[in-house]
């Protein structure tokens, strides 16, 4: 029999990047990946910038291009990404070790899932990330200096 | 069929069409369906086939959310067409597409073979070493209600593929086992009668196994039977970690007929009815 033609309906990158009608955990998943990639990009740039010291270029001295407001703002975004990624990461460690998803239950409609069980943890971690971000904002704005 | 169009509301179905013999890629075709309260999406598709376009193809069987055949993408959400009332999810327009992350055979018909092959690969059945008892059973295996509760939730899976269509990891990693096979693995790993978890762990702990899941939770959100594959996968990960660290509790499959009754019928259990066949 001849091979039947098919259409590949795999969503690809849009499958995990697309928000659509998904729930809050899906958005947390997308943001976790994006912040992870952003931190990785910053890390690579950081290596490049610090490695320039080998050729005698000190790019972090006062008045250099890296001290322009746009770079300060960029650093703040990296800090925000770190705050989110770190606290959401703690949640994921607890969840992925099966510690915050609850035991299997009899499925009775309307169904309660592990998403409901871990939701308070998600909210707590986001509140902690928000507090951490707020405290960091004072540092970036130079409040109290 | 006598049609009662009283109190009906026109809803436009935007249906994905694809004929492998004539179409290069899928396209959307719209149909207007008079919808009455209580009509399911499956009823709407039947209306289209009977009255508007007899060439439309989709899968269905039981019409009551049991067989898992009619999983499809309704307004961007994977779910069962027979379990979803049109007026609950649509005011004027409804998009109906095939389940994502599968190849399309025709129109709304996905090729679920990739899912079934992955499911088969994890040995979704009780594995024991006492072949004699398996082939010529002489009694029952004792299992407590507590042992049953460890996996009962995961036995309700109807293999509809909605979780696989919703999974963002599966969207980019075609080799990822996916929520349904991993939940099935957890179901049998936790069965006190089973002794096949070591072999399953080889597969579920591999690069395309449970650790590819990062808890987007969509599988549990879309599951029409409340199976909660995300919970199963997280419990499976814990077992894999404990197994890797040699901290897993030594587990032996339960023996035959140990525990209450010791093989004798309890006094308050009525006798089985006489065989009729």
Q: Is there a contact between B211 and B237 (Cβ–Cβ < 8 Å)?
A: yes
CATH of domain B9-111: 3.10.20.30
B193: three-class secondary structure by DSSP: coil
**Shortest distance, CA B145 to any CA of chain A (angstroms):** 12
CATH classification of the domain holding A87: 1.20.1300
Beta bridge partners of B34: B10
SS3 at position A88: helix
Q: Work out how many CB contacts closer than 8 A connect A with B.
A: 147
- The model's pLDDT over A93-136, given as tens digits with 9 standing for 90+, comes to 999 999 999 999 999 999 999 999 999 999 999 999 999 999 99
* Contact between chains at B228 and A107 (C-beta distance less than 8 A): yes
β-strands B93-97, B9-17: how paired?
parallel
- CA B249 from chain centre, in angstroms, equals 29
The pLDDT score that the predictor gives to residue A144 is: 60
Residues in A closer than 8 angstroms to B234, CB to CB, are 95-98, 101, 114
The tens-digit pLDDT sequence of chain B (277 residues) is: 445 556 899 999 999 999 999 999 999 999 999 999 999 999 999 999 999 999 999 999 999 999 999 999 999 999 999 999 999 999 999 999 999 999 999 999 999 999 999 999 999 999 988 877 777 777 778 788 899 999 999 999 999 999 999 999 999 999 999 999 999 999 999 999 898 999 999 999 999 999 999 999 999 999 999 999 999 999 999 999 999 999 887 777 777 664 555 556 667 777 778 878 7
In angstroms, the CA A47 to CA B270 distance is: 77
Q: What pLDDT is stored for residue B2 in this prediction?
A: 47
Q: Taking the mean position of all CA atoms in its chain, how far away is CA B255?
A: 30
Does residue A84 fall inside a structural domain?
Answer: yes
Partner A contacted by B170 (CB < 8 A): yes
Domain encompassing residue A107: 23-141
* Interface contact B217-A21, CB threshold 8 A: no
Residue identified by tokens 């509790």 is B249
Instruction: Give domain status of residue A33, yes or no.
Output: yes
pLDDT for residue A71: 83
First to last CA, chain B: 39
Spell out which residues of chain A touch residue B107, defining contact as CB-CB under 8 Å.
Answer: none
Does a structural domain hold residue A3?
Answer: no
B229-to-A114, B2, B157, B183 alpha-carbon distances in Å: 9, 42, 9, 5
The two most distant CA atoms of chain A are separated, in Å, by 78
- What's residue B43's pLDDT? 98
Sign, CA dihedral B97-B98-B99-B101, equals negative
B113-244: what CATH class? mainly alpha
The ipTM (two decimal places) reads 0.88
User: Which member of B75, B103, B241 has the closest CB to residue A6?
Assistant: B103
Q: Is the predicted pLDDT of residue A139 greater than 90, yes or no?
A: no
The SS3 call for residue A144 is: coil
Contacts of B170 in chain A (CB under 8 A): 10, 15
For chain A, the domain total comes to 1
Shortest distance, CA A51 to any CA of chain B (angstroms): 34
For position B157, what pLDDT does the model report? 97
CB contact under 8 Å between A106 and B152, yes or no, is yes
Backbone phi, then psi, for B211, in 5-degree steps?
Answer: -75, 0
Selected for mutation to probe chain B from A19, A101, A108, A118 (highest B CB count within 10 Å) is A101
Q: Over the stretch A55-78, which tens digit does the pLDDT of each residue have?
A: 776 666 666 777 778 888 888 999
**Which value, to the nearest 10 degrees, does the dihedral of the CA atoms of residues B16, B20, B22, B26 take?**
30
Q: B69 with B61: CB under 8 angstroms?
A: yes
* CA distance readout (Å), B36 to A126, B7, B87, B96: 44, 6, 8, 18
Nearest by Cα to B145 from B47, B224, B260? B260
Q: How far apart are CA B171 and CA B178, in angstroms?
A: 10
Would residue A4 count as lying in a domain?
no
Hey, of A16, A106, A118, A125, which one would you mutate to test binding to chain B, going by the most B CBs within 10 A of its CB?
A16
Report yes or no: A5 at the B interface, CB cutoff 8 Å: yes
């Amino acid at each position: 029999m001849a091979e039947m033609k098919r259409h590949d309906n795999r969503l690809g990158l849009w499958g995990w990047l697309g928000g659509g009608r998904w729930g809050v955990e899906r958005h947390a998943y997308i943001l976790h990946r994006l912040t992870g990639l952003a931190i990785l990009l910053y890390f690579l740039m950081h290596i490049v910038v610090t490695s320039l010291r080998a050729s005698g270029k000190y790019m972090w001295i006062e008045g250099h291009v890296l001290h322009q407001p746009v770079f300060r703002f960029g650093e703040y975004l990296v800090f925000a990404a770190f705050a989110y990624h770190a606290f959401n990461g703690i949640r994921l460690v607890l969840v992925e070790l099966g510690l915050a998803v609850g035991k299997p239950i009899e499925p009775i409609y309307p169904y309660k899932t592990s998403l409901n069980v871990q939701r308070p943890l998600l909210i707590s971690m986001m509140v902690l990330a928000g507090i951490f971000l707020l405290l960091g904002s004072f540092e970036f704005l130079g409040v109290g200096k | 069929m006598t049609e009662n169009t009283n109190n009906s509301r026109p809803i436009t179905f935007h249906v994905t069409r694809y004929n492998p013999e004539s179409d290069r890629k899928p396209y959307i075709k719209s149909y207007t369906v008079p919808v009455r309260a209580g009509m399911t999406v499956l009823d709407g598709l039947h209306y289209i086939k009977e009255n508007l376009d007899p060439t439309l193809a989709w899968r269905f069987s039981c019409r009551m959310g049991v067989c898992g055949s009619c999983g499809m993408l309704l307004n961007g959400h994977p779910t069962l067409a027979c379990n979803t009332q049109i007026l609950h999810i649509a005011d004027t327009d409804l998009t109906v597409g095939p389940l994502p992350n599968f190849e399309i055979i025709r129109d709304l018909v996905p090729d679920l073979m990739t899912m079934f092959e992955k499911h088969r690969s994890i040995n979704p059945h009780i594995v024991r070493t006492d072949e004699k008892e398996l082939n010529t059973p002489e009694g029952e295996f004792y299992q407590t209600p507590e042992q049953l509760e460890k996996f009962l939730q995961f036995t309700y899976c109807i293999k509809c593929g909605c979780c696989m269509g919703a999974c963002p990891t599966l969207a980019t990693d075609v080799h990822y086992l996916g929520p349904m096979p991993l939940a099935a693995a957890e179901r049998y790993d936790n069965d006190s009668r089973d002794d096949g978890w070591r072999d399953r762990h080889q597969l579920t702990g591999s690069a395309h196994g449970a650790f590819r899941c990062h808890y987007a939770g969509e599988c549990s959100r879309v599951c029409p039977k409340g199976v909660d594959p995300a919970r199963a996968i997280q419990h499976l990960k814990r077992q894999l970690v404990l197994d890797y660290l040699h901290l897993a509790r030594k587990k032996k499959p339960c023996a035959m007929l140990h525990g209450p009754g010791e093989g004798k019928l309890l006094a308050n259990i009525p006798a089985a009815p006489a065989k009729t066949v």
